Amino acid sequence: MEQYEVKSVAVLDRAGMSASLACAVHCAVFPLVLVVLPALGLAWLDSEWVDWTMVLLAAGIALSAHRGGFTMHRRCLPASVAVVGLLTIVTTMCLLKGHASQPYMQASGAVVIASSHVLNRHLPHMYGLPGKGIALP
C-alpha cells in the first residue's frame, strides 16, 4: 500500500471520529438546550434533515475509511462495528421518533461508530504490520 493511501485512511479515520463524536454530543446535549434554540435562531437544528445529513456523512466517511483500512489489516471487524452503530442510529430514528430515549440511543450509536474508527486505526499495530500502521498524532 502506498504511503499516500495510508495517510488518507488516517485522515478519514480522524474525520470519522470527529463527525461521530460531534453527532454524539449533538444527540446527548440537544434535549437540554432545546428550550433556548428558538431564542438563538438555531431552531433548524431540531430538523429531521439535520439528523439524516449527519447519518449520511458518517456513513460516507466510514465507508471510505474502513475500505482503506481493510486493504491494510484485512479485518472486517471495524466495518462491522460501524454498521452496528449506523443501524442503531437509523433504527432509533425510525422506530423511536419522538421518544424520550431517542437522542441518547442515537448518541450511543455515534459513539459506536467513533469506536470503529479507533479500532480501524489500531488494527495494523495490533497485528504487527510494521510500516503499514497509522501513527497516532
What are the domain boundaries of the chain?
Answer: 3-126
pLDDT at position 78 is: 93
Q: Quote the CA–CA distance of 6 and 65 in Å, as a whole number.
A: 10
H and E: helices and strands count for the chain: 5, 0
What single letter denotes the amino acid at residue 101? S
Q: Quote the CA–CA distance of 107 and 28 in Å, as a whole number.
A: 6
- Assessment of whether the complete model's pTM goes beyond 0.85: no
| pLDDT per position as a tens digit, 41-75 | 777 777 888 889 989 988 998 998 899 888 888 88
